[in-house]
Amino acid sequence: MRYVYIALIVILAGIVLMFKVQNLDTVTVSLFSMSFTMRVSMLVLLVYVLGMFTGGFVVQFLRKSVSGAMNR
């Protein structure tokens, strides 16, 4: 089973590397009066990490709210 996990990790790393190599174009992102220029792959990675970060906060908030409501 260990070899299956290793193979999946290698395949996933290969897909991520191909995505990175194929998306070398730059984009400009503007928010209010600020603007940032970055590569498409970095933008996707940044949005993914921010989504994980904020999603974790939402899940934690819902867990605390439900447990607080159940303890009353």
Model pTM score: 0.59
Bridge partners of 28?
37
CA-CA distances (angstroms) from residue 2 to 15, 42, 44?
20, 31, 30
Break the chain into its structural domains and give their ranges. Answer: 2-70
With a cut of 50, list the residues of the chain below it in pLDDT. Answer: none
pLDDT recorded at residue 9: 92
**Tell me, what's the pLDDT at 1?**
86
pLDDT of the residue at 72: 66
Tens digit of each residue's pLDDT (9 = 90 or more) over 44-59: 888 888 888 888 888 8
